[in-house]
Structure 1
Amino acid sequence: MEKVLELLADGAFHSGEALGRALGISRAAIWKKLKMLEALGLQIDSVKGRGYRLHPGVELLDHERIHNALDPSIKEGVVVRTCLKTASTNDLVREIPVASPLIKGVCLAEYQTCGRGRRGRAWDNPFGSTISMSVRWFYSAAMASLEGLSLALGLAVLKALERCGGSHLKLKWPNDLLWHAPDGFRKLSGILLEVHGDPTGDCEVIIGIGVNIALSREQINGINQPAVDMQRVCGTAVSRNQIASELINEVCRTLDVFSQQGFGHFRAQWEQHDAFAGWNVVLEAPGKMVSGVASGVDVHGGLLLQTRSGMMIFKGGEVSVKAMTPTKSK
């Protein structure tokens, strides 16, 4: 499949006969490979008499383009790998060799078979239509000091997508990025953190980031919540490779600042983009539900909720927020 993709990457039409001749296999074998790619969600046009091509707007990951677009200061501190298919980039990124704990590993995949979302959910990523990226970061302080990291990273993703043309982007506590559409909020991106190591010492943080880039109408409708992609947010085609580079740049900058100053440095910026500040919300946690008015976050990234019993603070983990109504104009 990888060799077929290499031939189709130019966006031109190629006959089944020409593809088979180039790869030394039959036209029937080519047809089977193309059907396998379509089953993964890749859009391929088939026109009688002309052959096959990648659907216009489909842009495959290009390691060289991504690496060349990184800021010079970032290039020195990361090892970037791209792959066609993996179970999960969160797992694969741990296999990338790095020369020092100061080096961050970054993995991007065209397609994941077992992409993970928050609270045990699956992250759906049709082939070539999303960014599925994981970053491996070594942190030399106690796990407790990682509080607020998912919020800081959400802000990093927002900044990167704004730099690529995104607008009207908002943050949902603790780790979702939303687009404020005319008909309400739609999910554009999600973040998942996995932490391994000594609770009181050195630890390894795996940061999984998913961004919808160019989904079909059927793919959008198949997601179990209101969703959107960057193409619809921007109103035009966008470059996956540019977005990947900007994400790596901004995430690495954020990690470096966070390691020195913690979430407190990002708190005011995060609150400026808080989707539900001043809204009536319901928090769902294992075994309980609490309602109140979302009132920003504390210096550690905990959600401040004004309830009838007073101000309460909630941490991340298995807590989720559902918006009800705004108490003030948004």
Structure 2
Amino acid sequence: MTIGELIRLLSDGEFHSGQQLGEKLGVSRAAVWKQLRKLEDLGIPMEAVKGQGYRLVTAMELLEGPRVVAALSRESRHQLSRLFVEEVLPSSNAFLRERFAQGAGHGEACLVEQQSAGRGRRGRIWTTPWGRTLMCSVGWRFESGVAALEGLSLAIGVVLAQVLERHGVVARLKWPNDVLLEMPGGGHGKLAGILVEMSGDAAGPCEVVLGMGINVDLPEAFRASIDQPVACVHDQAPGLSRNVLAAELLDGLLAMLAGFEEGGFAAWQGEWNRRHAFAGSEVEVIRGDRRDVRVAGDVDESGNLWVYQGERHERLVGGEISVRGRP
């Protein structure tokens, strides 16, 4: 018996007795109890009522691989070579990097309920509660090399924004790899982060793993533990299924990846700029310990961000540069 099997039985939000759970899982009531005690450590509140049994305080929708694949378009099912749905991984990106090391990886996708050692840009830790986010990684092999993939992380952000907009979620994009929502009291909360990892030749074949971590429905206690404003898909689209979101996102990503080598970021430039969270606003440009105030302009066809200070124009080229909106 795994924690995931137990959570799946409890995910309907109904009461289940220890005996019923043990019979379904093929273990003793004592073994069930030991696993139930671990749920709180995973940030999954549980309710126990004498004579009724145990249930999750809030019903959960777990990821289902067959359901996701069945919802894909015919083209995406052809392009997707394999879908992995895992309970816990250190990192879905690391999982697919290992698949590439084994000679696979291209066209493969990995969804995971919880990451134990996920990370974002510049090595920042990305922590996730069980079953409340959508952690998705996709592997792709390009023949033209790393140099032809400028702006790829920005195109990924556009794909996610387009998917969310179908469900009434108005997403904004922050250069180079964040997706934001406007907060009710003003400002923006981080909805998703994007991490693209590349290996290979600058002018020859290269392997890419693109990862996304999307907040779907974070518990209030978890939000309070984060040191920056965060937002969730359910803030604007209550009840949107994670499986539906996963299928639509994979549809969009696979279509984008299939054409990116030929069209590049130029095909996505206008869509990104239309959703730019800070266009025409003052931003902080952070380079190590140095912080400069600039006015944000548009991104160019290579995905570089132009910023301004009076008559001075400057092009920012990813790397170790961060941009933050100013209050």
Q: What TM-score results when the alignment is normalised by the length of structure 2?
A: 0.93
* In structure 2, C-alpha distance between the alignment counterparts of 1:6 and 1:217, rounded to whole Å: 22
Q: Give deviations 1:155-200, integer Å, cap 9, x for gaps.
A: 011111222x242210001110100123221111110111111222
The structure 1 segments of at least 4 consecutive aligned residues displaced by more than 3 Å after TM superposition are 54-57, 94-103
* In structure 1, C-alpha distance between the alignment counterparts of 2:310 and 2:190, rounded to whole Å: 30
- Residues 166 and 188 of structure 1: CA distance in aligned 2, closer, same or farther (over 3 Å): farther
Structure 2 equivalent of residue 25 of structure 1? 27
- Residues 249 and 292 of structure 1: CA distance in aligned 2, closer, same or farther (over 3 Å): same
Structure 2 equivalent of residue 136 of structure 1? 139
Contact 2:12–2:59 under 8 Å retained in 1: no
Identity across matched positions, percent: 39
Q: Give 1:254-293 correspondences, 5 Å limit.
A: 254-293=256-295
Q: Give 1:62-77 correspondences, 5 Å limit.
A: 62-77=64-79
Structure 2 equivalent of residue 113 of structure 1? 116
Deviates more, 1:214-223 or 1:286-295: 286-295
Which one of the candidate residues 9, 14, 17 is aligned to 1:15?
A: 17
Structure 2 equivalent of residue 314 of structure 1? 316
Aligned residues: 323
Structure 1 equivalent of residue 88 of structure 2? 85
Structure 2 letter corresponding to 1:278: G
Structure 2 letter corresponding to 1:249: D
- Residues 28 and 102 of structure 1: CA distance in aligned 2, closer, same or farther (over 3 Å): closer
Contact 1:42–1:128 under 8 Å retained in 2: no
* In structure 1, C-alpha distance between the alignment counterparts of 2:50 and 2:196, rounded to whole Å: 47
Q: Give 1:145-184 correspondences, 5 Å limit.
A: 145-163=148-166, 165-183=167-185, 184=187
Q: Give deviations 1:83-131, integer Å, cap 9, x for gaps.
A: 1111110111234589998941100111111011111111111000000
Structure 2 letter corresponding to 1:123: W
Contact 2:283–2:296 under 8 Å retained in 1: yes
Structure 2 equivalent of residue 35 of structure 1? 37
Contact 1:139–1:259 under 8 Å retained in 2: yes
* In structure 2, C-alpha distance between the alignment counterparts of 1:96 and 1:292, rounded to whole Å: 42
* In structure 2, C-alpha distance between the alignment counterparts of 1:97 and 1:272, rounded to whole Å: 35
Give the RMSD, CA atoms, in angstroms: 2.1
Question: 1:23 offset after TM fit, Å?
Answer: 2.7
Secondary structure of the residue aligned to 2:326 is strand
- Residues 102 and 51 of structure 1: CA distance in aligned 2, closer, same or farther (over 3 Å): closer
Contact 2:296–2:308 under 8 Å retained in 1: yes
Deviates more, 1:246-255 or 1:271-280: 246-255
Structure 1 equivalent of residue 208 of structure 2? 205
Question: 1:153 offset after TM fit, Å?
Answer: 0.5
